[in-house]
Amino acid sequence: MSNELFNQSLHLTARLVERGDYDDAALVLRPWLITPLSDALKSIACINLAVIADLQGRDDQASAWYDAGIGYDRAE
| Residues 5-54: tens digit of each pLDDT | 999 999 999 999 999 999 999 999 999 999 999 999 999 999 999 999 99
59 to 15, 31, 38, 71, 75: CA distances (angstroms): 22, 22, 26, 18, 25
pTM of the model: 0.92
At 2, the pLDDT band (50, 70, 90 cuts) reads confident
Q: Is the pLDDT of residue 75 over 70?
A: no
Residue type at 2 in one-letter notation: S
